Each structure stands twice: as C-alpha cells, then as structure tokens.
C-alpha cells in the first residue's frame, strides 16, 4: 500500500509541477549617523531578484545622490552629506521580477540617516535632549480681534471680517526660540468661511496646530449643496487658479455675475467652490441644469487629462480608489497591487474622450487599445479552458491508474 501511495504522489507531482519556491528578498543597510562632508555607502542586498531598481534620497539638500539600473546582485550606492538634518534613502523596484516564481516584485526598502555638524562636540552627542515646547507665546491679527482672547492652551479662534477685506496679517511668536512656525504672515481670505492653520514645530519635531476661522461677511452668498456637503460660490476672481489654456470669463448663477474660467476645446465653464473649512476647488458648472462636477485635471509629460467617472465594466478589471497627482480617482485594475490602471477622461489638447492606461509608478499615460486588450482576453479564456481540460484529464488518468493498480494487486492474490 505504501508503494502505491508513493507512486501516486510521484505522478501528482510530475503532472502539476509542485516544488518549493524560495521567494526573492531585498534589504538596505547603511551607517545611520554621518557628519557633513562625509560620504555614506548604502548597501543594497538583492537575492533571487532581477530588474530595474531606483535609489533616491528624500532630501538631496541633506544627502545628495541617486541611482537607477538593472541589477540582479547586491550593490552599493554612495551619497554625499551636504548639511545637517535627516534624510531617508529608499530603494524602489521599478520593473523587478522574482527569479523562481517569475512574479513581479514591488516591495520598497528604506533607511533613515542623520547628518551631524562636523567638528563640534554637539554634533556627535547623539543623546542630546531636544526641547518639546511647541506653544505659542502670542497670536494676533493686525487690526482685528480674536475670539476668545489668546491663550497658549486654546487651539481654536474666530474672527469676523468686513466683505472688503481680501487678506489678513497674522502675527505668531513661539515660546521657544528653537521652535518653528508655519502658516503665519500675509494670508489671503475670501467671502465666507476661511480656515487658517498655524503650526508650531518644537525642536524635537512635535507639532501643535492653532486654528483661526475667519468669517468674511457676504451679504448675498450663493450656497451650493453637492451630495451631503455645502459650498459657497467664489466671487473673487483673484482666488481662481486658472489651468493651462483657460481664460477668464463670467457666468450668471442665481442672478449674480460671478468670475469663471472657460476653454474652447473642452467647452467647460469652471467656477470656484469653497467648503466650510475654507478649501477652494474648481468645479465644472453646467448652466443648463445648474449642476456642478469636480474638475480633476491630471498632468503627465505629454498630455493633460480631465478625469471623467465612467461606470462601464471591462472584462477582467475591478474598480479601485487611487491617488494620481494628489487627486483621488476611481480606476480599473486587474489586481489591487498592479502598478498599471485604466481611467476614462478627456484629452485637454484635442477634447477627445476615451480610456487611458496609467503607469502609477512612473506617472506616464498612453491611449488604451480596446481591440488589443479584448483579443488578449479571448486568448486568456482559451488558455484557461485548455488548463481546465488538462487538469480534468490528469485527474481521470490518476483515477484510472489507481483502479488499475488495485485490480492488479487483487489479481496477484
């Protein structure tokens, strides 16, 4: 009986090609502390992988250098320490495959390196204690009053402004001289609600955010509701950032003439809508039905695409949410981890609509060939049917062999 089981196991392994696959690995290592002026060697350990790898620094002003090439063995890339600070060196597989499985490998690896000042005692004292004080000592707006009165532990304030005001001057002073402040100074405001964030970063990197809600009076606001969110139509043309090939115009909304942008190729009329947090985005306005659609322009090397949501289903593809050029859009992918996706949109150069294929890693785009993909889908279906038939035939052959061997054993007895 044991001999029979051994033979069956051998046949099963031969037919289905079962084997143990050792997955490829990628790792990165380096000295995590160097001084200004020194070179740091980043060791990239590659095992069982081959393809193009990209090595980059998160801040070339601190650690300068980069590399990109086809590698299938461990490599060393050298970076130069330019100034004090921290930078992360990341190794990203661009087009890499696993030797054994043949599958695409996409996992990136990184190491963070601290660059210290050269030649001073403080630069080599890695145990130095950094201040965590991220409080403001004072916060004010020139010519205006904050509500409530400033207190370092109060994080949210309000200010009411006249409709004629288009900018305010925010003055912020930190308690700790080593802390840094972001968001103060001259800040533009528009009619309605404006949310302004003042961020204090302590010496040790801890952040505290103070919020100012500036309400600019609008005697006749144009309110818009899209889904469950409320917006107001922007009336200040200086706050409209015009995309390429768009020119200034005006459009009547609820009997009020408001600034807008237009383009002869797309035929779109763009207006600015502001949400209750003060964020402003461009929307496509349709005068015939009064509807608004978010304008999502995706820029690539050669062309620009206006993203258009399309509910059409393509065989073999599923819908996923991804970010392209900081815009969240819906795309079609065969698998969730794929670097390639399909989107539907309008070419802003010629106004033509269609499907486009995006390389999410390289941020490149090209027209999607429906006929070629359909032909591949048909071919894949034929392969699938062939595999199913061969599998069934193999199982039947195994069953036949098993019955035959049982009968032979009975015959010998």
Is there a contact between 298 and 327 (Cβ–Cβ < 8 Å)? yes
| pLDDT: which is higher, 298 or 269 | 269
d(CA 207, CA 168): 24
Q: Is residue 349 part of a domain?
A: yes
Q: Is residue 38 domain-shared with residue 81, that is, in the same domain?
A: yes
- Tell me whether residue 252 is in a domain: yes
Give the chain's mean pLDDT. 81
| Range(s) of the domain holding residue 72 | 22-124
- Residue where one domain finishes, among candidates 99, 124, 149: 124
pLDDT in tens, 329-370: 888 888 888 888 888 888 887 788 888 888 877 777 777 765
Inside any domain, residue 392: no
Any residues with CB less than 8 A from the CB of 267 and at least 6 apart, and which?
Answer: 351
Same domain? 334 vs 309: yes
**Length reported for the chain:** 413
| CB neighbour list of residue 238: distance below 8 Å, 6 or more residues apart | 166, 188
Q: CATH number, domain at 198?
A: 2.60.40
CB-count exposure of residue 14 (10 Å: 0-12, 13-18, 19+): exposed
104-138 pLDDT, tens per residue? 777 788 888 888 876 544 444 445 678 889 999 99
In a domain, 44, yes or no: yes
Same domain, 231 and 195: no
For 17-25, which contacts have Cβ atoms below 8 Å and span 24 or more sequence positions? 21/100, 21/101, 22/48, 22/100, 23/48, 23/98, 23/100, 23/101, 24/48, 24/49, 24/98, 24/99, 24/100, 24/105, 25/49
Residues 89 and 58 in one domain: yes
Task: Considering only residues 135 and 298, tell me which one the structure prediction assigns the higher pLDDT.
Answer: 135
Percentage with pLDDT > 70 across the chain: 85
Where among 160, 182, 216 does a domain terminate? 216
Q: What's the rounded Cα separation, in Å, for the pair 279 and 275?
A: 6
Domain count, the chain: 4
Question: Among the three residues 103, 124, 145, which one is the final residue of a domain in this structure?
Answer: 124
Whether residue 102 lies inside any domain: the answer is yes
Tell whether 321 and 261 lie within a shared domain.
no
For residues 318 and 288, membership in a common domain is answered with: no
User: 208 and 143 share a domain?
Assistant: yes
Strands 207-216, 156-161: pairing kind: parallel
Residue 115: CB partners within 8 Å, gap ≥ 6?
34, 35, 36, 62, 63, 81, 82, 83, 84, 85, 86, 87
- Give the DSSP letter of residue 325: T
The Cα 260–Cα 411 span in angstroms is 93
């Amino acid at each position: 009986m044991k001999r029979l089981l051994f033979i069956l196991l051998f046949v099963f392994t031969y037919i289905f090609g079962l084997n143990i696959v050792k997955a490829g690995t990628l790792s990165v290592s380096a000295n995590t502390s160097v001084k200004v002026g020194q070179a740091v060697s980043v060791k990239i350990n590659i095992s069982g992988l081959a393809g193009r790898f990209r090595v980059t620094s998160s801040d070339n002003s601190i650690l300068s250098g980069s590399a990109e090439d086809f590698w299938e063995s461990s490599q060393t890339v050298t970076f130069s320490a330019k100034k004090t600070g921290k930078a992360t060196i990341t190794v990203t597989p661009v087009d890499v495959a696993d030797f054994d499985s043949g599958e695409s490998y996409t996992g990136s690896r990184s190491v963070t390196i601290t660059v210290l000042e050269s030649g001073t005692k403080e630069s080599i004292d890695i145990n130095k204690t950094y201040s965590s004080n991220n409080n403001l000592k004072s916060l004010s707006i020139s010519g205006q009053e904050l509500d409530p009165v400033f207190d370092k532990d109060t994080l949210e304030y309000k200010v009411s402004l006249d409709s004629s005001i288009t900018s305010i001057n925010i003055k912020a002073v930190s308690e700790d001289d080593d802390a840094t402040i972001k968001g103060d100074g001259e800040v533009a405001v528009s009619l309605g609600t404006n949310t302004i964030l003042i961020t204090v970063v302590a010496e040790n990197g801890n952040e505290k955010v103070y919020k100012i809600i500036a309400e600019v009076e609008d005697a006749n606001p144009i309110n818009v509701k899209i889904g469950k969110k409320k917006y107001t139509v922007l009336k200040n043309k200086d706050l409209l950032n015009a995309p390429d090939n768009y020119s200034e115009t005006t459009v009547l909304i609820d009997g009020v003439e408001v600034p807008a942008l237009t383009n002869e190729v797309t035929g779109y009329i763009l207006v600015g809508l502001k949400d209750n947090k003060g964020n402003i985005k461009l929307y496509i306005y349709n005068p015939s039905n009064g509807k608004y659609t978010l304008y999502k322009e995706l820029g690539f090397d050669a062309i620009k695409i206006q993203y258009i949501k399309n509910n059409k289903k393509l065989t073999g593809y599923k819908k996923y949410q991804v970010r392209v050029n900081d815009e969240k859009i819906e795309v079609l992918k065969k698998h969730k981890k794929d670097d390639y996706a399909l989107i539907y949109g309008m070419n802003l150069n010629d106004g033509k609509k269609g499907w486009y294929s995006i390389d999410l890693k390289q941020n490149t785009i090209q027209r999607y060939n429906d006929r070629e993909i359909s032909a591949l889908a048909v071919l894949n279906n034929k392969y699938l049917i062939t595999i199913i038939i061969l599998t069934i035939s193999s199982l039947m052959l195994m069953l036949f062999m098993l019955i035959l061997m049982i009968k032979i054993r009975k015959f010998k007895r």
